[in-house]
Structure 1
């Protein structure tokens, strides 16, 4: 087999694997990178490098693998934009966590969001009481948006992040 065709096929397989893995393990985790996550990304990239290029450690082999990844990413983004099927397949949807005074406890649990995290988002948006929240949405990127009924409140951006305390509670 042509060595460059082999690199193209291997790189495509690794790319598709990573897309599926991110979909299964949750893309929202990308908005919350901590030290362990960065280490994981570095180790994954190192572990799949040989799977993409095989025994070809040349500059041209590495560039061919990188080019395939860029091209695949470009194609996937075009397909997501053009076709709803691909958008549903590759992108997570925003989730309503709280609507008109009622929390969706099943959604909160499925997204591993504690009451304390939701309250932190509410407070960071300048709202003192959860009764004043009209809508709380877990966005596609893992951030929580809060909408209140009060037009005088300044709306801010809350970036959901994991801290040691919430990581310890999960274990």
Structure 2
């Protein structure tokens, strides 16, 4: 078999392996990366590199492998848009975590979300207590979205601004 076709087939196989592994281990892993998760991603990329290109470590082999991954990702996204079966197979559905102040602890436990993580998301959205939450959803991308019962509160994600101490005095 042509060595470049072999690289394409290996790359596509690795793509689907990683896709299935992420599906099994959960969407939470994608949105809330910590140091250990970044290390895992780096180690996975290093460990599958040889599986994709084999003994051929030339520049063209790396480019072919990367191109194959871009192509299969593009095609797979198009297929997901057209096929509800494939979309359901790959993507989870959003999950309700809190509804009208009532917390669904079984759902939290099944998804592996701690009460500390949920409380952090609530605070990031400008609320203090669970009972202030009209709806908290664990979205398909792994983020937690919050809708408050307060119609005047329009805050979404809170990001702390850090001002460099040398620039703080200069305006």
| TM-score for the superposition, normalised by structure 2 | 0.85
Gaps in structure 2 of 5+ consecutive residues: 160-171
Off by >4 Å, runs of 4+ in structure 1:
none
Contact 1:100 1:133 in 2 (8 A): yes
What SS is found at the alignment partner of 2:118?
A: helix
CA deviations 1:8-56 (Å, max 9, x no partner) are 1111111110000111111221212222222211111111111111111
What SS is found at the alignment partner of 2:97?
A: strand
Counterpart Cα distance in 2 of 1:20 and 1:97:
25
Contact 1:145 1:158 in 2 (8 A): no
Q: What's the counterpart of residue 93 of structure 1?
A: 93
Q: What's the counterpart of residue 162 of structure 2?
A: none
My pick for the range that moved more, 127-136 or 72-81, is 127-136
Residue pairs, 1:62-141, within 5 angstroms: 62-141=62-141
What SS is found at the alignment partner of 2:151?
A: coil
What SS is found at the alignment partner of 2:78?
A: helix
Q: What's the counterpart of residue 22 of structure 1?
A: 22
| TM-score for the superposition, normalised by structure 1 | 0.85
The alignment yields a C-alpha RMSD, in angstroms, of 1.7
Larger Rg: 2
Gaps in structure 1 of 5+ consecutive residues: 160-171
Number of residue pairs aligned between Structure 1 and Structure 2: 159
